[in-house]
Amino acid sequence: MNSTSKSLRVLVVDDDPIAAETLAYAMSQFGYCSEVAGDGIEALKHVRTGQFGIVISDVEMPRMNGIELCKEIRARNACGYTYVILLTGRSDTDSIVEGLDAGADDYISKPFHPAELQMRIRAGERLLMQQSRELMIFAMAKLADSRDNETGSHLERIREYCRLLCEELSTWPQYQDVIDGIYIQSIYETSPLHDIGKVAIPDRVLLKPGRLTPEEFAIMTQHAQIGGDTLRAVAEAYPEAVFLRMAYEIAMTHHERWDGTGYPRGLSGEDIPLSGRIVAVADVYDALTSQRVYKPAYSHEKAVQIIRESSGSHFDPAVVRAFLILEDRFREINRELGDVVGYTAGPSHLPGTAIRMA
Amino acid sequence: MTLSLPTHLPVVDHDELHQRMMGNALLAERMLNKFVATAPAECDQLESAIRIGDKSTVTSLAHRHKGTAKTLATHRVAAAASHLEERAATDSVSELLALLEELRQLHQEVRDVVGGESTCSAPENGAQRP
Ligand SMILES: [Fe+2]
């Protein structure tokens, strides 16, 4: 019985028709749609249609072999990621190494064992699903961010900063039980959503150069509550999705301050979720070192100074300590992913007035 | 010298074939039929490559044939093809032709099995989910 309800399509590449047909039959039994190509050249034509998430390829084939095929797929990664599994002889370690080096994700010995193949495909499917989720979230975040930040890489930097801070904190005894791999992956995926509530802020406030009036500032602060409420509704609808819960926490609390003077709820200390405290530091560092319509970019050193001085008032002292340990890495990411602007030494305002954090 | 497996082994390992074809006896039978139908042409290709001294083609044809034979759990065929692949670089045409002849005889054995009784002990509608 064939059941091809799953949307994932698998491309089987083998010059041996018997092996190819056996593989295609296995795919149909696992519930995947599949197509067969007899060599690498033919396979590439199929891959370019963008319809195949997974390619299972023999290594030795005429015209274009499996390793060359893999290189070609990696060289033109236009339609999203393609997961490549190579079929190799049991003892063929050279081609395994060569294949992985060419960008193959996995290999399986030939002839394949059906149960093993099914497990390997599931692993590929999981990776593809996670990747498409990540792309989807990031696309949404970019869309929201594009109104006030059309060309910048603000979101790309934020998630890198958050990941760095988490990786550091995860090595500290008091965070070892809290920050694990899933936590780090979740903050990397969801931190770009922190300002999603800005979609509800009118242009005259969002895009206003210079300082905001108290009334305008009040409107601006609503973005945290609006983003938080929206994401909370989604998180409640999908309670098993841990990353949605974190997305909600971050959107809601990234403007809370350690001393309780932040918004929207005036939470203080550890009542503020850790993810919100981490994003707060990452977001402020990025805001300080970026040029905005209402301010020039500050130097890295100036930003570090401001964050150090705000430890225990604005920021969680532990997160600031981690930030100061990682300071050089922040500078590197800022250089690598930075928007092209000139630094200024920064005006001699107090941090609260110099940056319009929102 | 021959690397072939002992001749008392059945030419097709039905249990393994059954497992490789995921319990589908019809598929197993169809694949074996396809194998014996295409084997003579593959051997002819091998023979011309051997006679013109095209060693790389001998290697790759023998390699592919070995893979097919393994997929169908015909281990003595796979061993013979593997032997041919390993010896492909030799200058002795007669040695390679002798190995090819051995391969052809094994194909005949498979053909006898396929032409005989059912190739699989599983029920005919045995398409099982894994
Ligand atoms: Fe914000």
- Residue showing tokens 């498979």: B110
CATH of the domain at A225: 1.10.3210.10
> Do A244 and A294 lie in a common domain?
yes
Core vs surface per residue A172-204: b (16+ CB within 10 A) or e = eeebeeebeeebbbbbbbbbbbbbbbbbebeee
Q: Are residues A60 and A159 in the same domain?
A: no
Q: In this predicted structure, what is the pLDDT of residue A345?
A: 41
Report the percentage of chain A scoring pLDDT > 90: 63
Here the tokens at position A6 are 């799953």
Q: Could you tell me which chain B residue has the CA closest to the CA of A17?
A: B68
Q: Give the closest of B22, B38, B63 to A60, CB-based.
A: B63
What is the percent of chain A where pLDDT is above 70?
90
CA closest to A118 among chain B residues? B130
* Same domain, yes or no: A337 and A232: yes
Selection from A26, A114, A16, A116 nearest residue A66 by Cα: A16
Do A335 and A214 fall into the same domain? Answer: yes
pLDDT tier at A340, thresholds 50, 70, 90: low
Average pLDDT, chain A: 87
B67–A111 CB contact, under 8 Å: yes
Radius of gyration, CA atoms only, chain A: 25
Question: How many domains in chain A?
Answer: 2
Measured between beta carbons, the chain B residues lying within 8 angstroms of A21 are 31, 34
Lowest model confidence (mean pLDDT) among A106-110, A352-356, B35-39: A352-356
Regarding whether A243 and A216 lie in a shared domain, the answer is yes
Q: How far is B68 from chain A (nearest CA, A)?
A: 6
The CATH number assigned to the domain holding A54 equals: 3.40.50.2300
Whether A287 maps to a domain, the answer reads: yes
**Tens-place pLDDT, residues A224-278:** 999 999 999 988 888 888 889 999 999 999 999 999 999 999 999 999 999 999 9
Residue A280 lies in a domain: yes
From A98, A127, A156, the end of a domain falls on: A127
Same domain, A83 and A152: no
Most confident residue range from A156-160, A344-348, B114-118: A156-160
User: What is the value of ipTM here, to two decimals?
Assistant: 0.79
A76, burial (CB in 10 Å: exposed 0-12, middle 13-18, buried 19+) = exposed
pLDDT for B23? 93
pTM (global) more than 0.90: no
* A87 inside domain: yes
**Of A127, A160, A186, which one is at a domain's C-terminal end?**
A127
Q: Are A161 and A82 within one domain?
A: no
User: Residue A239 has what pLDDT?
Assistant: 83
Q: Are the Cβ atoms of A111 and B129 closer than 8 angstroms?
A: no
pLDDT at A342 over 50: no
Indicate if A175 and A105 belong to the same structural domain. no
pLDDT at B113: 87
Residues A100 and A164 in one domain: no
Identify the architecture of domain B14-112 in CATH: Up-down Bundle (1.20)
Quote the pLDDT of residue A224: 96
Domain boundary among A66, A95, A127: A127
**Cβ(B110)–Cβ(B81) below 8 Å:** no
CB contact under 8 A, B72 and A18: yes
Q: For the residues A272-298, what does the mean pLDDT come to?
A: 91
What is the residue range of A255's domain? 146-349
- CB of B15 less than 8 A from some CB of A: no
Residue B5's CB is within 10 A of a number of other CB atoms, namely 14
